[in-house]
Structure 1
């Protein structure tokens, strides 16, 4: 059995190029240009909502923010299933991998593990943050339910989301429109630590994914189609992340965090492309090691975005959001429409990338 396995594996190596042999070397100059074009696209997508919300002279209507926010939610959820979980399953089923890999659905298991890990991290962060505030003598509900006025899973009190819905403040939507400072009555109502953990989790999932996309783009043969698709992909994803970062409620000293997170997002795919071009003579995305690494990372990132998308975006922005539940049918339909549009466009891009 072992002998026949190694024999078939050796034959596979010849046919499948599971070893090092480099990626595609065509359109080299265009691939270099791609670094800068994607840098501009993804950075613009991520930075625009943050800068627009902070600037005094650029009056962006609230409906535009709402569009970007809900569109971005749809993008994030489609990314999880179509652009991460599916490629993760594919990579871990690669014929280059040892037989053991095909005996168990490892991609699904890694995604499941990731969902549980993120849930536990969030749970611990909430308990720790709440305990810390209780120690300071502040009664605090990390999900911003009006203190004592709702059951534990009752509606959220505010329409204004933090990055991934970690904590909501009690400001009204008129506060949001005027951009005024919030939460003077509950100075501790937002716990910066739990919010920062929230940003870190979403950012981590997306950044891993972006580096892998860059590496693949640098050495893939179908470069031109992939380039156009990934440019849209990263710009949409940037909008999704940026619109969540724009509504982070952080103390003054943490004001740089959303900008830093957006810039990091903008840089990751270009860094991946540059790294891919640097190692193009040896990096083969179909090799055994590359398949395992990208399969595991994609599946793990998928879990992060599935959790974020379903729990933080679906549940907290809609079901537990008092303003959204009391909103007019038109407003609710608009939000759902934006989300479905983001999801549909991102899922459609999965046809090419």
Structure 2
């Protein structure tokens, strides 16, 4: 670490034209990874088989979890113990403490939100399981509720009922209420996931714009952003929303796609003054990476792993082959993303 420059001078300016081109190259990679699952799920002309969608979904879960530990938490620890910082930063594991704070903050916010939502539905006479136990749904990807006493359907799912919802009839209004609650839960869940990913994406864009090892980092980030986009896009594609909210997954994919290019463009704009090794940059990126790591750890382990496997009726009662396929896809995503951490 003796060659680390802690001054306020700018970062590397080599391969400048390629750095400019990287804005558009990574835009294409990120946007393709995030948009493909969303558009493929909505259009019949692509004719993507269900096993391919399942692969994207479980592969993406593994990518997100590996991102949290390998691409966020470890760099955050390095940044907050940088030799450019005062000794006070090295007497306590601040990166892990901030990740812990982030995990419990997200948990408490989600707990309060579900308590409020469940109480609201209870006042309407609707029984709602926010975790979808025994149903196959879950909070992050579409909690389903049970409506008791609906004519012709004692147990109607929120999403199916939403297609027939009409506020001019009392029973249908109840179904609409469930659909609204389900949509809100899904949007909150995906917003939490995207918030953690977007912070990380902007920061790596800034770093790429001024890093002296540009070529290696550039190649790795192309794959990194494409795979991570596939993970985010697969979660967006499986959102079940009322028709008026159908734009949410597309907007989410577009926002992810432009995050890293925005970071690169900003980095190029301040390349003469921005030094990623300076004390200020280390503190900002370290804190943001640690908070993002906590968000993705919670989302990955609780919302994705637990609810996709432990609380999912399809996995508990399904065939061993289906379970093995899902696990292999998830481990492949995790393994590939963890391997990329060797270079970035």
TM-score by length of 1: 0.87
Q: Is this contact kept in 1: 2:129–2:145, CA < 8 A?
A: no
Question: Which residue matches 2:153?
Answer: none
Q: What does residue 342 of structure 2 align with?
A: 351
The 1:92–1:86 alpha-carbon spacing in structure 2 relative to 1, beyond 3 Å, is: same
Residue 112 of structure 1 corresponds to 100
Contact 1:166 1:198 in 2 (8 A): no
Deviations 1:279-327 (A, max 9, x none): 0000000000000000000010000000011111111000111111111
Q: 2:242 aligns with which of 251, 256, 260?
A: 251
The Cα of 1:194 is off from its aligned counterpart by: 1.7
Aligned-partner Cα distance in 1 for 2:3–2:322: 56
Q: Deviations over 1:143-180 (max 9, x none)?
A: 223xxxxxxxxxx412x667x3462478xxxxxxxxxx
**Aligned position for 2:160:** 182
2:15 pairs with one of 3, 27, 31 = 27
1:200 to 191, 211, 224: 191
Who is 2:27 aligned against? Answer: 39
Which whole-Å deviations, capped at 9, do the CAs of 1:29-70 have from their partners, x for residues lacking one?
Answer: 001111001001111110111111111322110000000000
Alpha-carbon contact 2:127-2:145 (below 8 Å) kept = no
Work out which of the residue numbers 57, 61, 84 in structure 1 matches 2:49: 61
Matched, 1:276 2:264: no
Match of 2:143 among 167, 173, 190: 167
Which of residues 318, 321, 325 in structure 2 aligns to 1:330?
321
- C-alpha contact (below 8 Å) 2:35/2:254 kept by paired residues: yes
**Match for residue 222 of structure 2 among 219, 223, 231:** 231
How many Å separate the matches in 2 of 1:104 and 1:16?
Answer: 22
Using the alignment, how far apart are the partners of 1:128 and 1:195 within structure 2? 15
2:114 to 126, 129, 150: 126
Count of residues in correspondence between the two structures:
319
Residues 223 and 15 of structure 1: CA distance in aligned 2, closer, same or farther (over 3 Å)? closer
Q: 1:289 is matched with which residue: 266, 271, 280? A: 280
TM-superposition CA deviations, 1:198-224 (whole Å, max 9, x none) = 111001000000000100000001111
Structure 1's 299 and 116: CA in aligned 2 closer, same or farther, altered over 3 A?
same
For structure 1, the 5+ residue unaligned runs are: 1-11, 146-155, 171-180
RMSD after superposition = 1.8
Give 1:195 shift: 1.5
SS in 2 for 1:182: helix
Tell me: CA distance 1:296–1:109, structure 2 relative to 1, closer, same or farther (3 Å): same
Q: Tell me if structure 2 keeps the 8 A contact 1:46–1:263.
A: yes
